[in-house]
Copies of this chain bind each other. A is one copy, B any other.
Amino acid sequence: MSQKVIIGVMGPGTSATQRDLELASELGQLIAESGWVLLTGGRNQGVMEAASRGAKAAGGLTIGILPGSDRSGVSEFVDVAIVTDLGHARNNVNVLSSDAIVVCGMGLGTASEVALALKQGKRVILLGCDLETQKFWQKLSSLVLIAETPPEAMQKMQNLLSRLLN
């Protein structure tokens, strides 16, 4: 089997905070250094772009799942652009294609991804989210994990994946 491990990193676009971006970039780098493929929403904005930039800096492979009908708006740090023309329904492709999902920051698009992921049995790691956000999702699902730093998120993903793959 040549199949690769895919980690989805999701979070706000234009409304991402500086901290969201820093977490995403460091996480992208760590994912690439682990030999995993990074998957994002593919656009040249916010957490998507920051994570892809981090992964490319470490020589990783980056996949971007785009919402439109062509590659317009794709991040320059995406290697393989998947063009869905699904609009926001592409968020479901993001989560289904990922072995595990890490969220940096919370917006409405991200909330839809967390909900769709948890609904379909995917683990979601909330990285650097506030307490209210953590509580909301933990009340709805037992598949939510919390991390404060990218290395802690990586550690939790390693544990998850070793269980998934064994």
Task: Name A residues whose Cβ lies closer than 8 Å to a Cβ of B.
Answer: 1-4, 6, 37, 56, 61-63, 65, 69-71, 74, 76-89, 91-93, 96-97, 106-109, 111-112, 114-116, 118-120, 132-133, 135-136, 139-141
Contacts and interface: CB of A to CB of B under 8 A. Distances in A.
Given A108-B118, A115-B109, A132-B136, A2 B77 contact: yes
A87 B82 contact: no
Contacts of A136: 132-133, 136
Contacts of A81: 3, 6, 97
A26 to B, nearest CB: 19
Contacts of A93: 82-86, 89, 93
Contacts of A111: 111-112, 114-115, 140
A82 B85 contact: no
A72 to B, nearest CB: 12
B71 A3 contact: yes
Nearest to A120: B88
Nearest to A121: B70
Contacts of A112: 111-112, 115-116, 119
Contacts of A74: 3
